[in-house]
Amino acid sequence: MTDVNHKLDLGRLESVDAWGMASRAPGYVYRPVNVEGICGVYSAATAAHKTIGLRGAGCSYGDASLNSEGIVLDLTRMNRIIDWDPQLGLITVEPGVTIRQLWQYVIEDGWWPMVVSGTMFVTIGGAASMNIHGKNNWKVGPIGDHILRFTMMTYEGKHLECSRESNSELFHAAIGGFGMFGAFTSITLQLKHVSSGLLDVEAVATKNFDHLFEVFESRLDDSDYLVGWVDCFGSGSGLGRGLVHRANYLHEGDDLESIQTLRVVNQELPDAIMGLLPKSVVWRLMQPATNNPGVRAVNFAKFISGAKLSDGQWHHQSHAGFAFLLDYVPNWKKAYGPKGLIQYQSFIPVASAKETFKTQLTICQRYGIVPYLGVFKRHRADDFLMSHAVNGYSMALDFSLGNCDRGSLLSLTAELDRTVLDAGGRFYPAKDSTLSASSFQESLGKETVATFRELKSKHDPAGIFQTNLSRRLI
Ligand SMILES: Cc1cc2nc3c(=O)[nH]c(=O)nc-3n(C[C@H](O)[C@H](O)[C@H](O)COP(=O)(O)OP(=O)(O)OC[C@H]3O[C@@H](n4cnc5c(N)ncnc54)[C@H](O)[C@@H]3O)c2cc1C
């Protein structure tokens, strides 16, 4: 047994960061390597009357895996692949396995995760706990739709196996339940068969929101992935201008060099930008331009060059290259400066999405707090209890805290919250830093909140699993 101390080890107090660096909290951090180690941490929590916040790679933008003055149970060292069936594409992993580890392990056998986030550094436990979505959410649903079963260690020491057939209620609540019921200890996923390491990719420049929606809607039926970049500085007839990237799997037999393109080495992101600049220094070069005039100019240049280059031509890109664009520049978040950034992502039903996003950007521009990055996606509803997705669209907005004071930003996001609630939309705990309990609960509805509370008292009656986010929202 590792980490079994049964007494709180005061030497474990660390300052734990939110990914966006806009908040941090002291916590007693334990990193067990197996289930016995988890039990030891539970015992230490009992002995010290402490709560436990579960943590994966800490890639949630806000306070989802912070636990002020409590225990932080970091599962990144439980990172073994338990079982792999390359015929069926079924894999069972420990919760600390990252998406990077996962795709690197399976791709040479012709498989790829059904759902990945914009960064490959998240753990499967963290991904399941937030029920992450990819650029194909409208088509394949969230990661939970591809989880066949998981085992979970409750605080009372029960090791529960959950699936759609067994403990189904807990299955649908814990996936997307932001770590409130217990620690996932193993997760079984169905992967996607791919016959090539390449995707067919098309880029389309979009003049404004009307055009952006048109481009998405007209491509939904024959695309595998769709994602939009929004230049949030565009205004007037250019409000919501940007670029859409669409990608499709190659058909069986299309890639004559599939053995090579499916090799990990041919998926890896380049070490240097434009073959020259080492990636590790790029964020430092970005920093002087990460302010209003700088981002306005860079966005404009990106939009103009995108409009020139993206004339409906297709090109090939590796799966990793397309999926993990945000990983091209390591530590890019540091370009935002020491105050960091927060992200605001809202999910709006189809009927009101366009008007709501127009209103949201107009509000940001009125405040003079313009997001430096806007990302646009299409979604579908799913049957997980705390689902953040709707049949509609989401827009994720990155706000720099170096560019505004926190008070003004909070007033701004409170106005944005109202637009989401009025439209019957949803929020995403993985991205949230600003939401109030009343807005979050209004978005979920009374019945969902009541079911969540019921399940919480059934599986965690002492309320041991908590995080700063859960105390703020529910
Ligand atoms: C650059 C970037 C791009 C992103 N792109 C996307 C995207 O495209 N789509 C998307 O959906 N999300 C995206 N995210 C968000 C990210 O995928 C989620 O926040 C994810 O949950 C992070 O996983 P993690 O391993 O870092 O977990 P953490 O952030 O450490 O924790 C997330 C939650 O999981 C819980 N948890 C962690 N491990 C376990 C466990 N073993 N058992 C039970 N609960 C556990 C924690 O308590 C917490 O509530 C992005 C984040 C970044 C930084």
Of all protein residues, the one whose alpha carbon is nearest to atom 5 of ligand 1 is: 118
Ligand 1: residue of 102, 122, 394, 470 to mutate (most ligand atoms within 8 A of CB) is 122
Q: How many angstroms separate the alpha carbon of residue 379 from the centre of ligand 1?
A: 18
**Closest atom of ligand 1 relative to the 98 alpha carbon:** 25
Residue 3: pLDDT over 70: no
pLDDT class of 5 with cuts at 50, 70, 90: low
Beta-bridge partners for 427 = 346
Q: How many angstroms separate the alpha carbon of residue 57 from the centre of ligand 1?
A: 7
Q: Is 167 in the pocket of ligand 1 (CB under 6 A)?
A: no
Interstrand relation of 277-278 and 272-273 (parallel, antiparallel or unpaired):
antiparallel
How far is Cα 418 from Cα 424, in angstroms, rounded to an integer?
Answer: 10
Structure tokens at 253: 């037999």
For 259-316, the pLDDT digits (tens) are 999 999 999 887 777 667 788 888 888 888 889 988 998 888 888 888 777 667 899 9
For 116-167, the pLDDT digits (tens) are 999 999 999 999 999 999 999 999 999 999 999 999 999 988 999 999 999 9
Of all protein residues, the one whose alpha carbon is nearest to atom 53 of ligand 1 is: 59
CA distances from 163 to 68, 80, 168, 189, 428 (A): 32, 21, 6, 11, 23
Q: What is the DSSP letter of 233?
A: T
Of all protein residues, the one whose alpha carbon is nearest to atom 1 of ligand 1 is: 119
Q: How many angstroms separate the alpha carbon of residue 131 from the centre of ligand 1?
A: 8
Structure tokens at 266: 């041919």
For 245-258, the pLDDT digits (tens) are 999 999 999 999 99
If you write DSSP's letter for every residue of 245-289 in order, what string do you get?
A: EEEEEPPTTS-TTHHHHTSGGGTSPPSEETTTEEGGGHHHHHGGG
Q: Is 376 in the pocket of ligand 1 (CB under 6 A)?
A: no
